[in-house]
Amino acid sequence: MGQAIQYDLAGKHFNSQAALERAVKEYLRQAPRNTEFKSRFLRDIVNTLHPDVLRSPYRSTGDFRILTWEEQCRRGLPTAEQWRGGILVETFFRGLDRWQDVTVYPWKHPSIEQQFIQALRAKANAFIPSPGLFDRCAEPGCSASGFDLEYHHISPPFNEMVQEALRLISAEERENRFGYDKFAEGTCSLADFIPDDHPAVLLLAQLHRGNSWVWLCPKHHKERTP
Which residues face 13 on adjacent strands? 8
Say if residue 134 is in the same domain as residue 220.
yes
Whether 186 is covered by a domain: the verdict is yes
Say if residue 164 is in the same domain as residue 90.
no
Q: What is the pLDDT of residue 109?
A: 80
Of the CA atoms within 13 Å of residue 154, those in its CB half-sphere come to 8
Say if residue 41 is in the same domain as residue 62.
yes
Q: How many structural domains does the chain have?
A: 2
Say if residue 94 is in the same domain as residue 178.
no
Whether 65 is covered by a domain: the verdict is yes
Q: 165-220 pLDDT, tens per residue?
A: 999 999 999 999 999 998 988 777 899 999 999 999 999 999 999 899 999 998 99
Say if residue 119 is in the same domain as residue 219.
yes
Q: What is the pLDDT of residue 86?
A: 80
Say if residue 137 is in the same domain as residue 178.
yes
Say if residue 73 is in the same domain as residue 176.
no
Residue 87 sits in which domain range? Answer: 30-101
Say if residue 220 is in the same domain as residue 119.
yes
Q: Which residues of the chain have pLDDT under 50?
A: 1
Say if residue 145 is in the same domain as residue 165.
yes
Identify the domain boundary among 80, 101, 122. Answer: 101
Whether 5 is covered by a domain: the verdict is no
Say if residue 69 is in the same domain as residue 139.
no
Kindly give the residue spans of alpha helices, DSSP state H, lying in the chain: 17-30, 40-49, 51-54, 69-75, 78-82, 112-124, 158-166, 171-176, 199-207, 218-224
Say if residue 84 is in the same domain as residue 179.
no
